[in-house]
Amino acid sequence: MFEVLYKDIEENKSYENLIEKVLTKCFEEEHLEDSKLCITVTLTNPENIRKINKEYRNIDRATDVLSFPMFEKEELDEKIKNNDFEHEDMLGDIVISIEKVEEQAKEYGHSFERELSYMLVHGFYHLMGYDHIKEEDKIKMRPKEEKVLNELKITRE
C-alpha cells in the first residue's frame, strides 16, 4: 500500500507507524483497502523539497508537502468504479519536509503528530484528484481531510 523513503534525514519508526495508521484510514475512507494502489512517501529536508519544487513546479522555495498523482481524477474515478485493480498501480508520490512539519506544528500550536497526519491526508487527497485552489474544490476536499483526522482522533489541541 505504501513505501516510506528517507532523503537526507534519519529514519524514524514512529514516523512510519503514523504514516501507516493515517494512510490505512485514508484507503478505508475511500474504499480502496482491497485495491492494489500504492503510494511512495518521501520524508526529507527543506533543501531537497525546494529542489523538487523548483524542478517540477518551477517554484524556487521550500514547502511543506508536494504531491505527484499518477492519474487524472476522472481516470481514477473510473478505475475505482470498475474495481479495475488487477495489477499494482502507483497512486502517486507524497514528499514531506519534516523540518517544515516541526515548524508549522509549533506555529499552529498543535502536535507534530497532528501536522504530519494533516500533510499525509492532504497529500493523499491530492493524489485522489482533489484540489483546494478554487473555493468549490476546497469545499469537497477539506471535509474529507477533517473526517479522516477526526476518526483517528488526531485533532487540533
pLDDT digits (tens, 9 = 90+) for 114-149: 999 999 999 999 999 998 777 777 788 999 999 999
At 41, is the pLDDT very low, low, confident or very high (cuts 50, 70, 90)?
A: very high
pLDDT at position 27: 96
Collect all residues with Cβ–Cβ distance below 8 Å to 129 and sequence separation of at least 6: 69, 71, 72, 73, 74, 76, 77
157 pLDDT more than 70: no
Asked whether the beta carbons of 38 and 3 are under 8 A apart, the reply is yes
How many Å apart are CA 5 and CA 51, to the nearest integer?
17
Nearest-angstrom CA–CA distance, 65 and 125: 12
Q: Position of cell 504530519?
A: 116
Second CATH level (architecture) for the domain 2-151: 3-Layer(aba) Sandwich (3.40)
Beta-carbon contacts of 98 under 8 Å, excluding residues fewer than 6 positions away, are 9, 15, 43, 44, 45, 116
Q: Model-level pTM?
A: 0.93
Query: Quick one: average pLDDT of 20-31?
Result: 96
